[in-house]
Structure 1
């Protein structure tokens, strides 16, 4: 379960006329006071204050229902919501009552708000977005208050180039797919407001967080200090700040948007949080190829990214070549595919251009962007997540590239860790060793059989995975019988031999059919090795 009521929109904005300074992270007493006061307002309480209709509207970046609900409430939480989530003006006395330890004066000194004066009736307005965050990742539940720049729904102003993004859908996805086994050193590459670094700090001894943006690092420093977490913050582009360092875990939601120079020349602003300044999908490729230098043996890197689909070229060939150049294990899951027009429209909206409000600049940027895609033969852009690993032992790297667009059950981090462990287990066992192993059906696997009315034998047998990536495997009679007998008692070889006898088929033939399929089921988590 994940909740971040009214999650920060993919394209929020800083105040018109320039970005406000990030909140201060150097006053321990004020931070402790803020932590005490804000701890009274959890996600569930604020969601309850707004109600389901207003909460849903806020997730769609529509604040009017939330404003109505919050203005109608006399609860202290309403003043916090109005100020920091909705960009509304409140009276000083209202915020003083909502933050009794910190007070408006303390919030001013931290740089969270600006006040018109010291009188209780004077107006107070937020200088940043500040909201509770609650999520469940593979390590359990996590809750913090997280600051970022105010969003467009709160300000109505265009994006600033140095806008620091809050927690959106991509951030949640990365947090939930990341493995959470204990690690010594972790790197959050392009940390933004610092949310991935906060997640990593729960299971890693040391966390380094980098960003090209000094403002982003300042927000990350505030969020870490508010959470009571220590981070090693370094300014610089991509992997430059960690030259010579190695990590056990690298996470990154990098600035991967494919924005051609022609679109920027036509009026689309360049945003630090999304535009990496590389041609096409080169930034993601360079990260895939280069991150291995910074992984310790057994180290894992998990990235979000997108890649071009070019005419006459399967995307798996394109991204597979990156994996081959990396020398790492690689698992790439494509979750979404947009045609060029859909992709351009998505990021034009994110960049603050609207067809109605600024038709000339909008259409000029649109035309330039589409023209760049056409010139380079780009017929679509895929989005998804990549898991890379430096093998702990010398062997041929394992690569898997697939498109999975259906619903998946989050968090996936535990499943990702299990797949990596299963891949190692399989790599260490030839077919004879596999046949000598005992296996058990995973508890989330069910079997479905489809028969025609009156028939005794099924025409279709499906094995369905309830968790993980929700895979469905069509099984033949032999495989279904083998899986049904895997309870951790008999070895796979004993089961296959019995099934071959039952089907009156040569054992070697059944072995040749079943063993590759069983390897796939173990890798995907439908079958699991049992302790010997």
Structure 2
């Protein structure tokens, strides 16, 4: 396995001059889209670079930067010199940003714009296997991939004082954290990752504390208001082929370690959010498995987004490292990996998001649920609101019957009717929340009638008594049956206290 022997030298002065060049050319998220046009930019995202290359030819210095960093092409020295000024080509080569290629120069690092609703940054990472033309080295620093973007969207952005980005990689989670955290600390076990993350932060003129070490060791005895983590969560035999994805721990032990230890580094009420994987083993419920990882006094929300077949899982990760599953190397690796899955009774690999909250001296709430449907809204705000709703239920658990509830305007009731002997008959009643992750709940006729009265005017106990009288039922029995449903709908934001806005 190859490693990168030389660390890039991304000093403050070098980053300042590179930033000047990028700003002059307009090399940012909006600038790239404007230069390429929507169609070419979309094609580039699909892995079709030729429309982007053609569009870049009329974009001057910005076009050169696009071809070098986004398309992996070599450019003549004069063109590169103009685009990188005031940073000289020789300085860029010495620093490890550029490399000689034929009669010109090409990128030695991946430096590309990455933006959010408030602006744009630059993220420094290593070239991927397609750009290199071979498998990536063991200490490869991944760019902003699907997993990183998923965690960004799943992270709460409420203001906090101290935030930890555990296993920062290229630093993209910490970049987003600077929007809402006063102090950001980022750690990694990889010296190369820390060097590239430092370049990311210097290039963007951001102050982030960087510490090297395994897992939580660099921040021992410290506490944070929030922890975010994109750990090396690939499951399988205990090996480290690539530091960005492999932990050296067997199975899903890396995810278990983070879930088990993270709450100990939170202040009371602090929140941790991470990506995680877990094994689906024959004869074992995945929810039972992950809840065993939790320390006491921890609120937890496990959201399963997907379950992968072992064969598909192995093939995906082989291609991730640039190995053809049909090659002798690919077949040998796949065989060993699948043997391990078989020996450990693994039927599938679950993947999703975990939200944790330190709940000292309070009875914790632990919920595991599937959320495999497609949805557009980010999960981060929903996770923060879920924690709010859990806390509200905890403090008002004995007052639910005295509370006036209302059904939000975003919740709809769907009915499925089937033909019967007496005409159309409703066979399915389903509540559907149209925002957030689009929660759905099937409900019975009594529940729909009870919810119809939830307009924020009468307390729940009055509605139960009226419904019980109309149906000839005992109010106490109806209330006992209704309360678990009410709690579940409150947790999912489908029923809210009338006092809530």
Shift of 1:53: 5.4
DSSP-derived class of the 2:248 partner: coil
Residue-by-residue CA offset, 1:271-313 (whole Å, 9 max, x unaligned): 1111111111111111111112211100111111111111211
The answer to whether the 8 Å contact 1:478/1:514 transfers is: no
| 2:78 counterpart of 1:93 | yes
The 8 Å contact of residues 306 and 372 in structure 2, kept in 1 or not, is answered as: yes
- Of 243, 265, 268 in structure 2, the residue corresponding to residue 297 of structure 1 is 268
1:11 matched residue in structure 2: none
How many angstroms apart in 2 are the aligned matches of 1:31 and 1:474?
Answer: 56
Match of residue 445, structure 1, among 392, 397, 411: 411
Deviation at 1:47, TM superposition (A): 3.3
Deviates more, 1:40-49 or 1:414-423: 40-49
The 5-angstrom pairing of residues 41-440 of structure 1 reads 41-51=27-37, 54-70=40-56, 72-99=57-84, 104=89, 107=92, 111-114=96-99, 123-135=104-116, 141-260=118-237, 270-323=241-294, 325=295, 327-356=297-326, 359-391=327-359, 393-431=360-398, 433-440=399-406
Return 45-54 or 412-421, whichever deviates more: 45-54
Secondary structure in 1 matching 2:283: coil
Which string of whole-angstrom CA distances, capped at 9 and with x for unpartnered residues, describes residues 161-189 of structure 1? 11110100100111111111111111100
Q: Provide the C-alpha distance between the structure 2 equivalents of 1:103 and 1:504, rounded to a whole number of angstroms.
A: 86
Q: Spell out, residue by residue over 1:132-186, the C-alpha distance to the aligned partner (whole angstroms, 9 max, x if none).
A: 11235xxxx4521111111222221220111110100100111111111111111
* 8 A Cα contact 2:225 2:271, kept in partner: yes
| TM-score (norm. length: structure 2) | 0.91
Q: In structure 1, what is the Cα distance between the partners aligned to 2:365 and 2:297?
A: 10
**In the TM superposition, what is the alpha-carbon distance from 1:231 to its structure 2 partner?**
0.5
Higher relative contact order (CA 8 A, sep 6+): 1
Structure 2 Cα separation of the partners of residues 73 and 493 of structure 1: 70
Count of aligned residue pairs for this structure pair? 497
Cα distance, 1:227–1:62 mapped onto 2, change above 3 Å: same
Which of 453, 467, 478 in structure 2 is aligned with 1:499?
Answer: 467
CA–CA distance in structure 1, aligned partners of residues 344 and 53 of structure 2: 46
Aligned CA distance change for structure 1 residues 455 and 167 (closer, same or farther; 3 Å): same
How far 1:96 sits from its partner (Å)?
4.5
- Residues 368, 109 of structure 1: alpha-carbon distance in 2 compared, 3 angstrom cutoff: closer
Shift of 1:438: 2.3
Any gaps of 5 or more consecutive residues in structure 2?
none
Q: CA deviation at 1:328?
A: 1.6
Q: Which deviates further from its counterpart, 208-217 or 373-382?
A: 373-382
**1: CA distance between counterparts of 2:450 and 2:77?**
70
User: Cα distance 1:74–1:388, how it changes in 2: closer, same or farther (>3 A)?
Assistant: closer
Question: Could you give the per-residue CA deviations for residues 414-444 of structure 1, whole angstroms, max 9, x where no partner exists?
Answer: 111111110011011234x111122222232
1:187·1:209 contact (CA, 8 Å) conserved in 2? Answer: yes
- CA-atom RMSD in angstroms: 2.7
How many Å apart are 1:52 and its aligned residue? 5.2
CA-CA distance at 1:251 after TM superposition = 0.6
Q: Distance in 1 between matches of 2:425 and 2:469?
A: 18
What is the distance in 2 between the residues matched to 1:81 and 1:252? 30
For residues 468 and 91 of structure 2, the distance between their equivalents in structure 1, rounded to whole angstroms, comes to 76
Q: Whole-Å Cα distance in 2 between the matches of residues 335 and 79 of structure 1? A: 39
Q: Following the alignment from structure 1 to structure 2, what is the Cα–Cα distance between the partners of residues 529 and 470? A: 20
Structure 1 stretches lacking a partner, 5+ long:
1-13
Closer/same/farther in 2, CA of residues 491 and 36 from structure 1, 3 Å limit: same
TM superposition shift of 1:97: 4.5
* 1:499 shift after superposition: 3.0
Equivalent pair of 1:288/1:326 in contact (CA under 8 Å): no
Once the two structures are superposed, what CA deviation does each residue of 1:318-369 show, in whole Å capped at 9, x if it has no partner? 112112x45421111111111211111111112222134xx22221111111
Q: Does 1:22 align with 2:8?
A: yes
